[in-house]
Structure 1
Amino acid sequence: MGPYPTREEIRGFAASLATDDKSPFFNRVSPNVDWEVMGTHPAAGRFKTLDEWKAGALGVVQKTLKDQIQLELVNIIGGEDQEWAVIELEANAVCKNGKPSRFMLLCNLSCPAVRSSDVPRIPRTMSIGLQPR
Structure 2
Amino acid sequence: MPADKAAYRLEATVTRGAPDTLSTSVSVAWTFTSAHTSTPERLPLTTARPTPALDGTNTARAGRTMTIPVRLDQQAGSAAAPGCTLGVAASFDDGRTWTALPVSHGVARITHPRRPGFVSLRLTATDTAGNTVTETIQRAYRIA
What TM-score, normalized to structure 1?
Answer: 0.33
Identify, as 1 or 2, the structure richer in strand: 2
Identify, as 1 or 2, the structure richer in helix: 1
The structure whose Rg is larger is: 2
